Amino acid sequence: MLPFQRSILANCRRTPSLWTHSSTHTPCTSSPSPNLIRQYSSSTKGHPAYDSRQQAIRRTNRIMVGAAAAVGFGTYYLQSSQQQGNLINPFSFLFGSSNLTNDRWTKLQLTKITPVSDSTSIFEFRLNKPMTIPICSAVYVKDDEIQAMRAYTPVHYSLRDQPVLQLLVKRYSEGQVSRFMHSARVGQQIEMRGPVMIWPASRPELEAYDEIGMIAGGTGITAVLPVIHSVLTNGAKKTKLSLLFAAQTPEELYFKDELDQLAGSHSDQFKVTYTIDRLPDLSKTPAPAPSQAASSRKQQAVAKEVQPWKGHVGYVNQAMLEGMLPAAAKTNDTKSIILVCGPESMVKHVAGGRGVTGQDPVRGVLGAMGYKKEQVFRFPN
Ligand SMILES: Cc1cc2nc3c(=O)[nH]c(=O)nc-3n(C[C@H](O)[C@H](O)[C@H](O)COP(=O)(O)OP(=O)(O)OC[C@H]3O[C@@H](n4cnc5c(N)ncnc54)[C@H](O)[C@@H]3O)c2cc1C
């Protein structure tokens, strides 16, 4: 108890009953003014003014008790759920997530974490209302403790009518922000700002191309996935799409099922091929019993790897790209583009470094094939 509270209580104790005012008692320092007491004393029990005031007091008391109980329960729920690591803030509808803007940092509530490989998960955040995330844009995530921020490309294209934001984030063992994200728990508020455009790719801009070739590495798939969705849902123009998706292991070919399904349902328009750095060493991986196969994500991944690998093996090379991509640059060709997105080392190998301009002359595999700077866009990743 604070000193001022102790002195008020001591004074009140000296005053047997505040509300049965008697001129003989020393007035409590926290008591109402004598005028108020006089007004109160003039109302007697049974008097209509007295009764309605009593009812008002009782109503106020009930509201206050109810509010205190709600806050108490909410705090208890918040604490116990946080300990269990499965919390959705019950008061988020009052103070919680708002919509993203690039003007300031906004706290968004993490509502779901879906692991998609050993090192990568999809993190889902609640928005106030659905918002249009431009194709090929990124949002910045901040680790407030160390004041570091990194860009991530939202992947919720197919959920654009729902108030959610999804980020696919790979954890790097020494990575600052990716480790922060992977240590976050459901219910936590995480600061973000954006979206910011990385490549202008509204529908009319995509329509300008007859052909779009894409080379994605690992989480770089997030940049090209919205392009694929946008082009394939455009009834007006049948732009041709081709994608070579490179990853270290089959498990890291994120959204592969979705990509295969899109290629199947739009076989005249969209072709997808895959390459992995190396085949998994199946001799070290015990095949799961059929009954157990669906029991965990890891087992499902292993079950997939057991099937014969039908894609390429090794780093992206000319043989994988020939016949798949739009033809190498002809003079003033603006009808086709090649998008490259992935880890810096992979982008360098495929198209040369982005350099200080962000789009330095094309080198690497694409340079050797004759592609020019105007026909290739390298995403930062
Ligand atoms: C526009 C844009 C969009 C992006 N979208 C995504 C996305 O959707 N999903 C996603 O997971 N990442 C994405 N990234 C990468 C992301 O911004 C971070 O760079 C990544 O999460 C690593 O940050 P970190 O703080 O954990 O690592 P840092 O502390 O920056 O680096 C730690 C270590 O990890 C290594 N490292 C960092 N990034 C990579 C990488 N990409 N490949 C290999 N090694 C790396 C560094 O060399 C270093 O040794 C995007 C980047 C950009 C610029």
Q: Where are the domains of the chain?
A: 1-36, 43-84, 92-197, 203-278+314-378
Closest alpha carbon to 136 in 122, 152, 149, 148: 152
**Mutate which of 116, 192, 248, 381 for ligand 1 pocket (most atoms within 8 A of beta carbon):** 381
Alpha helices in the chain (DSSP H): 3-14, 34-42, 48-84, 92-95, 176-183, 203-207, 221-232, 256-265, 297-306, 318-321, 344-351, 364-368
Nearest CA to ligand 1 atom 44: 343
More confident residue, 32 or 109: 109
Q: Residue 285 — pLDDT band, cuts 50, 70, 90? A: low
97: pLDDT strictly greater than 80: no
Most confident of 53-57, 78-82, 187-191: 187-191
**Fold matches, 92-197 and 203-278+314-378:** no
Query: What spacing in Å lies between the alpha carbon of 5 and ligand 1's midpoint?
Result: 54
Query: What spacing in Å lies between the alpha carbon of 310 and ligand 1's midpoint?
Result: 29
How many of the other CB atoms lie within 10 Å of CB of 314? 12
Beta-bridge partners for 273: 244
More confident residue, 283 or 131: 131
d(C-alpha 245, C-alpha 330), whole Å: 25
Give the atom of ligand 1 at the shortest distance from the alpha carbon of 180.
Answer: 26
Give the pLDDT score at 12. Answer: 35
149: pLDDT strictly greater than 60: yes
165: pLDDT strictly greater than 60: yes
Q: Residue 192 — pLDDT band, cuts 50, 70, 90? A: very high
Give the atom of ligand 1 at the shortest distance from the alpha carbon of 152.
Answer: 5
Average pLDDT over residues 235-264: 94
Q: How many CA atoms lie within 13 A of 62 on its CB side?
A: 6
d(C-alpha 202, C-alpha 230), whole Å: 9
Q: Residue 302 — pLDDT band, cuts 50, 70, 90? A: low
Give the pLDDT score at 74. Answer: 46
**Binding site as annotated, residues for FAD:** 150, 152, 168, 170, 177-178, 222
* 239 Cβ closer than 6 Å to some ligand 1 atom: no
* 197 Cβ closer than 6 Å to some ligand 1 atom: no
Give the pLDDT score at 132. Answer: 83
250: pLDDT strictly greater than 50: yes
Letter string b/e over residues 319-357, b meaning 16 or more CB atoms within 10 A of that residue's CB: ebbeeebbebbeeebeebbbbbbbbeebbbbbbbebeee
Average pLDDT over residues 77-84: 40
More confident residue, 179 or 40: 179
More confident residue, 347 or 71: 347
User: Who contacts 281 (Cβ-Cβ below 8 Å, separation ≥6)?
Assistant: none
119: pLDDT strictly greater than 60: yes
User: Would you identify the CATH topology of the domain 203-278+314-378?
Assistant: Rossmann fold (3.40.50)
Nearest CA to ligand 1 atom 27: 175
For strands 164-170 and 120-126, give the pairing: antiparallel
pTM of the model: 0.73
292: pLDDT strictly greater than 70: no
**Mutate which of 178, 182, 224, 347 for ligand 1 pocket (most atoms within 8 A of beta carbon):** 178
Q: Residue 59 — pLDDT band, cuts 50, 70, 90? A: confident
Give the pLDDT score at 42. Answer: 39
Nearest CA to ligand 1 atom 34: 175
Give the atom of ligand 1 at the shortest distance from the alpha carbon of 222.
Answer: 8
Q: Residue 157 — pLDDT band, cuts 50, 70, 90? A: low
Give the pLDDT score at 62. Answer: 74
Query: What spacing in Å lies between the alpha carbon of 381 and ligand 1's midpoint?
Result: 6
* 170 Cβ closer than 6 Å to some ligand 1 atom: yes
User: Would you identify the CATH topology of the domain 92-197?
Assistant: Elongation Factor Tu (Ef-tu); domain 3 (2.40.30)
210: pLDDT strictly greater than 50: yes
**In this prediction, what percent of the chain has a pLDDT beyond 90?**
49
